[in-house]
Chain A
Amino acid sequence: MAIDTDKIVHAVMHGSRIREEKGIIPLFGVYLSMIPVDFYNKISFGFEKQMQQPDEAESLLVNAAQECGYATFAGVRSSREWAEVVQPMISNDKDQIYSFVSIAIAFGWGDLGVRELIPGEKLVMRASDSYEAKGYWDAYGRADAGKCYMLRGVAAAFMDLVYGGEYPDGCFRYKALETHCQAKGDPYCEFVARKAAG
């Protein structure tokens, strides 16, 4: 059975209307917030500009996203909503990755698509409208390197979760690079996750 992204988007949109009395949204095993993307761009790129070594900022932001993507989607995968909505559509490992991508689309993270998936080896994920790339371009102009740190970390986290071994020991088994980025003027952003060296 194919993964029905519309169905997953609908479940997220419907579920995110529910507030407990504390004003908190518990959905898919995590607490969700709805915050303008501008906020995230300001803190990520503001952080990068303030750090003495921008490379260090980049790896800290990618790692933060990967660690969080790993914890978030582990929560998602063991949630009631996953069991009810997503699990019936899954018949193999690849479907899990496709479902994670559909949930990321539902969360408003971009028009993501899987270009290539070799089980255990490689994931190529593409976005032609990433809020990070757009935010960077609008604020600072053309970048000299990829700027979609959140999606880059998340692409690796998807592989960690499915092919990295038992949770919680599989984080950082994979590593992603952003080979193309709209912030650099490329027509799309592309993330390639492969097994980390060592």
Chain B
Amino acid sequence: MIVNWPEKFARKGHEIFLSGLPIALHCHHYNMNLQKTLEASLGSEGGLLIYQAAEESSYAGFTSFLRDHPRINTIKSKLELASTSFQYCGLGIINFTQIGPDGGKIASPHSHHVTGWLAKFGKRESPGCFFTRGWIGGALAVIYNKPIGYYLVKEKECKMTLARECIFEVTTV
């Protein structure tokens, strides 16, 4: 299954859409600044806010995308869609090799958030990929036909703390 990504990415005047949902191009300065602001002011609640917003937005995005593409109908092709869309959106590389309907493990060797955080603020003491965690939870809920919030995604190792790659553990709530 090959998705022609540039074709899915439509410009209507000043707006940009990906599969019908308005998107914006933002850079690592903004994304990391927002994360830092939220964490500095709200502590772990700030990270949770990013997680939940990413979960809702990826849930809505995949629901809309799969509705428009009924031929992407196997779990394998849906997982492939998820990792190519992560890459297409400039978010990085994500490998769904050890995942099933009850959860599993996901590795990300590169990501926008890791590259951006390290470039802007340097090493962190604790895992910081709240966006990617939420994004994974939302995508998997759609792929396995579960309600939003069905999966809990934790980050066991994070490249922002200089681990080799980010490792996410997915369990059911």
Which of A's residues lie within 8 Å of B, judged by CB? 9, 12-13, 16-17, 19, 22-25, 30-40, 42-44, 46-47, 50-51, 56-57, 60-61, 64-65, 67-69, 71-72, 75, 105-112, 129, 131, 150
Residue of B nearest to A134 (CB): B22
With A34-B18, A51-B41: A22-B110 Cβ-Cβ less than 8 Å = yes
Residue of B nearest to A16 (CB): B25
Contacts of B14 in A (CB 8 A): 105, 108, 110-112, 129
State in angstroms the CA–CA spacing of A179 and B95 once bound together. Answer: 47
With A36-B21, A105-B14, A111-B14: A60-B41 Cβ-Cβ less than 8 Å = yes
Q: Which 6 A-B pairs have the closest CB atoms?
A: A25-B90, A22-B110, A30-B27, A42-B53, A23-B87, A68-B29
Could you tell me if A31 and B27 are in contact, using CB atoms closer than 8 angstroms? yes
With A51-B42, A110-B14: A33-B91 Cβ-Cβ less than 8 Å = yes
Q: List 16 A-B contacts (CB under 8 A).
A: A9-B11, A23-B93, A33-B25, A33-B90, A34-B18, A34-B25, A35-B31, A42-B52, A42-B57, A43-B34, A46-B49, A61-B34, A105-B14, A108-B15, A109-B24, A111-B14
B37 at the interface (CB under 8 A from A): yes
B88 at the interface (CB under 8 A from A): yes
Contacts of B33 in A (CB 8 A): 64-65, 67-68
State in angstroms the CA–CA spacing of A25 and B111 once bound together. Answer: 10
Q: Beyond the given A16-B90, A35-B89, A44-B34, could you list 12 further A-B residue pairs with CB under 8 A, ordered by the A residue number?
A: A22-B110, A33-B27, A36-B18, A36-B61, A38-B21, A38-B60, A43-B53, A50-B49, A64-B36, A105-B14, A107-B25, A108-B22
State in angstroms the CA–CA spacing of A60 and B30 once bound together. Answer: 13
Q: Which of B38, B92, B116 is the most central at the interface, judged by chain A CB atoms within 10 Å of its CB?
A: B38
Could you tell me if B27 and A37 are in contact, using CB atoms closer than 8 angstroms? no
Could you tell me if B26 and A40 are in contact, using CB atoms closer than 8 angstroms? yes
What's the nearest-Cβ distance from chain A to residue B63, in Å?
A: 12
What's the nearest-Cβ distance from chain A to residue B34, in Å?
A: 6
Contacts of A131 in B (CB 8 A): 22, 24
Partner of B46, one of A33, A47, A109, A150: A47
Could you tell me if B46 and A35 are in contact, using CB atoms closer than 8 angstroms? no
Could you tell me if B28 and A22 are in contact, using CB atoms closer than 8 angstroms? no
With A9-B11, A13-B11, A34-B90: A39-B54 Cβ-Cβ less than 8 Å = yes
Which of B's residues lie within 8 Å of A, judged by CB? 6, 9, 11, 13-16, 18, 21-31, 33-34, 36-38, 41-42, 45-46, 49-50, 52-54, 56-57, 60-61, 86-93, 109-112, 115-116, 119
Could you tell me if B29 and A72 are in contact, using CB atoms closer than 8 angstroms? yes
What's the nearest-Cβ distance from chain A to residue B118, in Å?
A: 11
Could you tell me if B89 and A22 are in contact, using CB atoms closer than 8 angstroms? no
What's the nearest-Cβ distance from chain A to residue B9, in Å?
A: 8
State in angstroms the CA–CA spacing of A35 and B9 once bound together. Answer: 12
What's the nearest-Cβ distance from chain B to residue A36, in Å?
A: 5
Contacts of A68 in B (CB 8 A): 27, 29-30, 33
Residue of A nearest to B36 (CB): A64
Could you tell me if A24 and B115 are in contact, using CB atoms closer than 8 angstroms? yes
Residue of A nearest to B57 (CB): A39
Contacts of B28 in A (CB 8 A): 30-31, 33
With A43-B34, A43-B38, A57-B41: A72-B27 Cβ-Cβ less than 8 Å = yes
Contacts of A38 in B (CB 8 A): 21-22, 53, 56-57, 60
